[in-house]
């Protein structure tokens, strides 16, 4: 599950090494919240990085082997 200012998206099951792309439309300034279940436990990470609604941002979230999450964003021209 990912969420932020004015949006929420359930991504379903994602296998190790797999990637998924989803379009979201934040209602203003936002960070990305990421939550998931793995190895029988629930994980939740609060807002990371920065992007805006109405912009052309590409935001990437990676779940690392130690189950931490890295989020980065860049504006696309």
DSSP 7-75: EEE------TT---------SSEEEEEEEEEETTEEEEEEEEEEEETTS-EEEEEEE-TTS-EEEEEEE
Domain span including residue 51: 2-75
- pLDDT for 55 equals 78
Q: Hey, what are 76's tokens?
A: 């696309």
For residue 77, pLDDT over 80 is answered with no
Q: What is the pTM of this model?
A: 0.90
- 40-49, 52-61, 68-77: range with highest mean pLDDT: 40-49
Question: How many domains does the chain divide into?
Answer: 1
- pLDDT for 76 equals 82
pLDDT in tens, 11-54: 999 999 999 999 999 999 999 999 999 999 999 999 999 999 98
How much of the chain is helix, strand and coil, in % rounded to 5? 0, 55, 45
Q: What angle do CA 28, 51, 9 make, to 5 degrees?
A: 75
């Amino acid at each position: 599950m990912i969420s932020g200012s004015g949006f929420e998206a359930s991504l379903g099951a994602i296998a190790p090494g797999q990637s998924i792309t989803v379009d979201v439309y934040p209602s203003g300034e936002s960070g990305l919240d990421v939550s998931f279940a793995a190895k029988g436990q629930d994980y939740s990470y609060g807002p990371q990085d920065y992007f805006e609604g109405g912009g052309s941002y590409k935001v990437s979230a990676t779940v690392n082997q130690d189950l931490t999450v890295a989020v980065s964003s860049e504006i696309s021209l």
